[in-house]
């Protein structure tokens, strides 16, 4: 959803079913992302360097294969919006990894789950868009849930990580808004460039040669398989299903990501994090269901 250049809903039931399946599979492929970052277990700057380089390489190759002779024209069509997406993506890539280094996976994914509602709030503030009352309620609920998670993090000494996760969510929300107002532009090249920028920023602080053995194998799996495959599917799928349905599917990562980490390395979220997470997930879920019903009426 964040990478595509178009997000219209197609009424064809077969196209809807195909889009739903692609998005669902893309989200499921993405769920081990945070677990692999934990298992690789290197400093965040080296992680950002490798993730950025591999993500940029894989996305560029995929884009060139798909676009073929239109690749250069697609890059030229990015304009200032593409430059903005690249810059913001580099910020959110860095803050995401830094957040994971300073707080629990559950905290990060719960806060990022509120991205669609943060985007709605920013649209109200900066674009003066009118928002329905149920969305206001959802925004209030998400902010309450985030407050619970962040306040618990402050008590546990992980508030820096929680704030970095919030910065990631805000950066993603701004990206949502830019892409929504430039639906005709394919932002995959911009994202590839943003990933490269994040790697260049991390380079002076990284120690790329510290990766060895299993760490290198897991990093290649993450950067060359999981990330491009999941982002590619999440780019294609939402073109034929409603945005609220996409938001509901993306909540799977918020639920499953911490579960994989819990099962494999026993990183258990606190009771207050679970409560705050339930509030955030419920707010996003109920608002998405309301929007789906409104769109179908």
- Distance, in Å, from the CA atom of 190 to the CA atom of 77, rounded to the nearest integer, reads 10
Tell me which residue of 224, 269, 267 sits closest to 35, measured CA to CA. Answer: 267
Provide mean pLDDT across the span 150-165: 92
Ranges 152-161, 207-216, 284-293: which has the least confidence: 284-293
pLDDT at residue number 2: 44
* Spans of all domains in the chain: 13-296
Average pLDDT for 168-182: 86
Contact indicator for 261, 105 with CB cutoff of 8 Å: yes
What average pLDDT does the segment 229-247 reach? 72
pLDDT digits (tens, 9 = 90+) for 19-48: 888 888 988 999 999 999 999 999 999 999
| 226: pLDDT strictly greater than 80 | yes
**Residues 160-196: b if buried by 16+ CB within 10 A, e if exposed:** ebbbbbbbbbbbbbbbbbbbeebeebbbbbbbbbbbb
Residue in 232, 250, 170, 226 with CA at minimum distance from that of residue 3: 232
Query: Distance (Å, rounded) from C-alpha 146 to C-alpha 272?
Result: 11
Chain segment 277-296, per-residue pLDDT in tens: 999 999 989 988 888 887 77
The whole model's pTM is what? Answer: 0.86
At residue 6, the pLDDT reads 44
Categorize the per-residue pLDDT at 243 as very low, low, confident or very high, splitting at 50, 70 and 90. Answer: low
User: What average pLDDT does range 159-186 have in this prediction?
Assistant: 88
Q: Which residue did the predictor score with more confidence, 212 or 196?
A: 196
Least confident of 60-69, 143-152, 286-295: 286-295
pLDDT at residue 38, as a whole number: 96
pLDDT at 129 (0 to 100): 79
Give the chain's mean pLDDT.
87
Determine contact, residues 226/29, Cβ cutoff 8 Å.
Answer: yes
Instruction: Kindly report, residue by residue over 261-270, the tens digit of the pLDDT.
Output: 999 999 999 9
Q: pLDDT for 82-132, tens place per residue?
A: 999 999 999 999 999 999 999 999 999 999 998 888 888 888 888 787 878
Q: Determine the pLDDT at residue 5.
A: 42
Give the list of residues 6+ apart from residue 204 with CB closer than 8 angstroms, or none: none
């Amino acid at each position: 959803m964040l990478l595509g250049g178009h997000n219209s809903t197609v009424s064809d039931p077969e196209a809807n079913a195909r889009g739903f399946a692609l998005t669902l599979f893309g989200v499921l492929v993405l769920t081990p992302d945070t677990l692999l970052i934990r298992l690789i277990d290197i400093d965040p700057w080296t992680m950002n360097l490798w993730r950025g380089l591999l993500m940029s390489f894989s996305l560029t190759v995929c884009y060139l294969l798909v676009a073929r002779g239109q690749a250069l024209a697609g890059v030229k069509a990015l304009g200032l919006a593409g430059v903005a997406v690249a810059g913001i993506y580099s910020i959110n890539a860095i803050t995401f990894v830094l957040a994971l280094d300073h707080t629990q996976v559950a905290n990060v994914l719960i806060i990022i789950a509120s991205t669609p509602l943060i985007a709605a709030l920013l649209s109200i503030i900066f674009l003066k868009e009118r928002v329905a009352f149920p969305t206001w309620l959802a925004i209030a609920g998400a902010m309450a849930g985030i407050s619970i998670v962040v306040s618990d993090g402050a008590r546990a000494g992980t508030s820096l990580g929680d704030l970095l996760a919030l910065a990631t969510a805000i950066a993603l929300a701004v990206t949502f808004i830019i892409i929504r107002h430039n639906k005709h532009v394919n932002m995959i090249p911009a994202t590839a460039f943003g990933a490269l920028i994040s790697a260049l920023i991390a380079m002076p602080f990284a120690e790329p040669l510290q990766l060895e053995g299993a760490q290198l194998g897991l990093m290649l799996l993450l950067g060359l398989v999981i990330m491009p495959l999941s982002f590619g599917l999440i780019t294609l799928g939402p073109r034929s299903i409603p945005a609220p349905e996409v938001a509901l599917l993306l909540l799977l990562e918020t639920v499953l990501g911490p579960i994989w980490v819990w099962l494999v390395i026993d990183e258990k979220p606190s009771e207050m994090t679970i409560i705050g997470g339930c509030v955030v997930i419920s707010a996003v879920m109920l608002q998405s269901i309301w929007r789906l019903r409104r769109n179908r009426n």
